[in-house]
Structure 1
Amino acid sequence: MRFASSHLKPPFCPALEGLGLADWDKNVIDQGGKVKSLDGKIALVTGASGGIGRQIAVRLAESGVTIIAHFRSREECAEETASAVRAVGSEIMLVKSDLSQSEGVRDLFAEVDKAFAAPLDILVNNAGAGSLATIAAIDDIEIERLFRVNLKATVLLTQQALTRFNDGGAIVNITSMSGLMAQPAGFAYGMCKAALNSFTVSLAAELSSRKIRVNAVAPGPTDTDLLNDYRANESAMDLLTGMAALGRLGTPDDIARIVRFLASPESGWLTGQILQASGGMRL
């Protein structure tokens, strides 16, 4: 576990002014770049040592959210996440835990309970595991690993988080376009993400009495370390890039900005939704 804080302020980004949304900007985002309605909230982000998870932590931190950042093994990378969060003026606690094991969920919350008396306001279930195995190649060990990390861990972690959660909070599950379309190579990963989409919708209905909103973000191909195996293959990269109508790969920040919106009261009329953050796949 690591806990650190800073009081630096991020630079103001005037991008919304250029879109003609100055009034909305003034009401929602202050001169320090914070989404005002998130200031002082506490968020748990799983899989936050890099990529999408790290950027989600940073974007939430920019808006004054205290971050509990989970990571499994990449401690140096997790420390880089902590540095990025401190650089925008927020507090962060790092928690190392293997969520593929049931005891890992218990260990995570044992550490959280030691450090925080206040309940959680935001949960981002981002941790996951991938696979490109076909039906002919996959075995029971791989199937079990994928379901354990991508689905079982998310359900058990959410179950525990809800006993420490403020009514009116927000849960965001990071799923995948793979759960919404055919993907013969990697079908088991897509199955897990499809199940997570179903979990999102069912949980949204169950938690409506507590005014806890539950949504999912389904990224398409995104420029993270997960694509490293493809970078030397120009045709493969062209194929991935061409999947989006907007003609590029997604970035972690594309996803993080959507998650921040879903975590905030500005999306207060959205629950049980699967947002396709893919740049227009399948158009």
Structure 2
Amino acid sequence: MVAQQRRIVVVGAGSGIGAATATHFHERGDHVLAVDLNANDTPASQHEQCDLRDAGEIAALLGRIGADWDALAYVAGVPGTAPVADVLGVNYLGMRLFTIGMLPLLRQGGAIVTVASVAALGWEQRINDLAGLLAAGDADTVAQWQATQDPAYPVYSTSKQASIIFTKRLAPAAWQKFGVRVNSVSPGPTETPILTDFEASMGKEVLDSVKATIGRHAGVADIVPVIAFLASPESRWVNAQDIHVDGGFVAPLTVGPAIEL
């Protein structure tokens, strides 16, 4: 039996997890709109270019793609080695504008999945600290907020913490008004083209310790099935969740040492 074709928007489809996500849905026969800053040859039914740092470009894209989509996977992200404005602009504000703009374009029963990161660890303790960022709806306000922050705190972590909190806050209203579920996925270190950027910003020794603890870094094939599940009807009662896909690395950091067997 051939699965019914679905209509999926994948943002950040040019490389890494985003490209693998678009390819996954394309290969199962879905109609995929691959969105990226750069032109690319990711397998998809449609391609669109969009600078996610530009609210006008996001609005224009959403205005021309039409409605009746089944899912949005917002996978786009830039590492902490990028300019601060770009990190917050793509990882948080661009995600916020794109997901809110997609809600009326999604069918009832649809889903939004955003990709966060285990680098957001500790977000629960920073909800009040991030209140100004979470209230910001444009780039100028985001920049004004960031100017008051400790420059030593990793902005990549800030962007992903805000993404998780925003996702959890958006989910109840999205479900009640549009019948759309909103969840996030937080990968651990993953073998993608920007892994070296993460080594530069987080420290290669830190990522090497993660690899030594759990045996390897993730591959895109470890992450994509979780995105696909959250975007599917099979996860119909999963909403407002952040799912760690990290091989179990984070758990001992939050609940204490692993049980010895």
Task: Using structure 1 for the length normalisation, give the TM-score.
Answer: 0.71
The one-letter code sitting in structure 1 at the alignment partner of 2:214 is: L
The offset of 1:64, in angstroms, is 2.5
**Match for 1:63 among 4, 28, 32?**
28
The one-letter code sitting in structure 1 at the alignment partner of 2:166 is: F
2:70 alignment partner in structure 1:
121
Distance 2:226 2:241 in 1: 13
The offset of 1:231, in angstroms, is 8.2
2:139 alignment partner in structure 1:
none
Runs (5+) with no aligned partner, structure 1:
1-29, 86-91, 134-141
**Match for 2:115 among 162, 171, 174?**
174
1:192 aligns with 2:159: yes
* 1:143-162 pair list within 5 angstroms: 143-162=84-103
* 1:184-263 pair list within 5 angstroms: 187-209=154-176, 210-228=178-196, 236=204, 239-243=206-210, 245-263=213-231
1:205 touches 1:272 (CA, 8 Å); kept in 2?
yes
2:104 alignment partner in structure 1:
163
**Percent identity at matched positions?**
31
Question: Secondary structure of 1:225's partner?
Answer: coil
Distance 2:100 2:241 in 1: 20
Shift in alpha-carbon separation, 1:262–1:192, aligned structure 2, 3 A: same
The offset of 1:261, in angstroms, is 0.8
Shift in alpha-carbon separation, 1:50–1:66, aligned structure 2, 3 A: same
Question: Secondary structure of 1:124's partner?
Answer: strand
Provide the aligned length of Structure 1 versus Structure 2: 220
The offset of 1:132, in angstroms, is 4.4
Task: Using structure 2 for the length normalisation, give the TM-score.
Answer: 0.76
The one-letter code sitting in structure 2 at the alignment partner of 1:195 is: A
Q: CA RMSD in A?
A: 2.5
2:236 alignment partner in structure 1:
268
The one-letter code sitting in structure 1 at the alignment partner of 2:58 is: V
The one-letter code sitting in structure 2 at the alignment partner of 1:51 is: G
Question: Secondary structure of 1:279's partner?
Answer: coil
Distance 1:187 1:181 in 2: 13
**Match for 2:37 among 55, 72, 82?**
72
Distance 2:197 2:155 in 1: 19
Distance 1:65 1:98 in 2: 25
In our comparison, the structure showing a higher alpha carbon Rg is 1
The offset of 1:239, in angstroms, is 4.4
Runs (5+) with no aligned partner, structure 2:
124-150, 253-261
1:42 touches 1:122 (CA, 8 Å); kept in 2?
yes
Shift in alpha-carbon separation, 1:229–1:217, aligned structure 2, 3 A: closer
Distance 1:181 1:225 in 2: 26
Distance 2:28 2:152 in 1: 39
